[in-house]
Amino acid sequence: MSDLRNPVPIFGHPPSIDDIADMAERALATMPRRLSKHVRGVGISVEDMPDDDTLDDLDIESGWELTGLYRGTPLTERSVMDNARDPDLIFLYREPILLEWIETGVDLYSLVRNVVVHEIAHHFGFTDAEIAAIEQEME
């Protein structure tokens, strides 16, 4: 698999849901503070493909177009008066990620990390320039 010095796993098989989840957890652990403070306690769920309800909600025609999704309530919109709510989750979609990996040749760990960063950052309103700066910090 991989170790902390080298987060890039070596696969003798197609990367599994557990492999993608492991890379996502590693990516979360390396997030700069300005981003990680927004997602304390966020969970990660890896699924093979987005379900039809998710695609309908987002008005996306093909599941191959969606590599990840952040579902939750931003910290800036939470209140002590809130009723119980669903936990915040980052959904990663394994098959679209693997397709992008194959099509682009980008390192799989870097791709998973970038999907995680983008999902968190866009959910909290970061600009593309801010996201690019965060990705540079993580290199």
Residue 108 pLDDT exceeds 60: yes
- In a domain, residue 62? The reply is yes
- In a domain, residue 105? The reply is yes
pTM (2 d.p.): 0.80
What is the pLDDT averaged over residues 9-30? 85
Domain count, the chain: 1
Round to whole Å and give the CA distance between 119 and 81: 26
pLDDT at 56: 96
pLDDT, tens digit, for every residue of 49-107? 999 999 999 999 999 999 999 887 765 666 666 676 677 889 999 999 999 999 999 99
DSSP 80: T
pLDDT at 79: 65
- In a domain, residue 60? The reply is yes
Name 23's bridge partners.
none
**In CATH, what number is assigned to the domain containing residue 62?**
3.30.2010.20
What amino acid occupies position 59?
A: D
Residue 133 pLDDT exceeds 70: yes
- In a domain, residue 91? The reply is yes
- In a domain, residue 2? The reply is no
- In a domain, residue 10? The reply is no
Q: 3-class DSSP state for residue 119? A: helix
Range of the domain at 49: 17-72+86-138
